[in-house]
Homo-oligomer: A and B are copies of this chain.
């Protein structure tokens, strides 16, 4: 393992604060108690250096020595390889973590993110199309509910799959869409009660607040 450097924006508007995906990486790093530092890339000017690390001009990316990794799912699987606090160490457990990481991102978030984008689009929350997004989200939560009713964490013990699934569930929860899914709600509450989440969230909020101060000092 080389030096771990997490790169995120220097600043973002108020709305996405607490939701920027560097949170997932901070959370994992805090769970594992791995040493890391945070670097920034300009939010307003996403140039060639940014694209060299993250071709879709998003954040975060992580460097581990001379290795640069983008996509929060890939970063968390990489970190899981560095610490037993982030995944079981047996091959079967590792495969289960991988499948649940994809389930969080490609099955649950695949429904919840479009739903969220509609939920924040003016005049989009009515009619048959809105109902279609609502139904898709419900379908995923209905299937997740019995899974979470039977287990504390997705894969035997807490893992990066839980970090991703819990972070994905935060958006529907914010709009009270977990109210009918008691196991999902309880699971999310368990995950968010972990000190590493609280630290990661507070650190992200403080990071972007510091960005505000820098902007105001320079303007």
- A215 in the interface (beta carbon within 8 A): no
A7-15, A25-33, A100-108, A192-200: which lies at the B interface? A100-108
A110–B107 CB distance below 8 A:
no
Residues of chain A whose beta carbon lies under 8 Å from any beta carbon of chain B: 51, 55-58, 67, 69-74, 77-78, 92, 95, 98-99, 101-103, 105-107, 109-110, 113-114, 117-118, 121, 124, 129, 132, 136, 140, 143-144, 146-147
B121–A129 CB distance below 8 A:
yes
Please tell me how many copies of the chain the complex holds. Answer: 2
| Known contacts A73-B102, A77-B98, then 10 further A-B pairs from the complex at CB < 8 Å, ordered by chain A residue | A55-B146, A55-B147, A56-B143, A58-B107, A71-B102, A71-B106, A78-B95, A110-B110, A110-B113, A124-B129
Nearest CB of chain B from residue A45's CB, rounded to whole Å: 16
Task: Give the CA-CA distance A78 to B92 in the complex, in Å.
Answer: 11
The contact of A132 among B77, B117, B140, by CB within 8 Å, is: B117
B102–A74 CB distance below 8 A:
yes
Residues of B within 8 A of A109 (CB): 106, 110
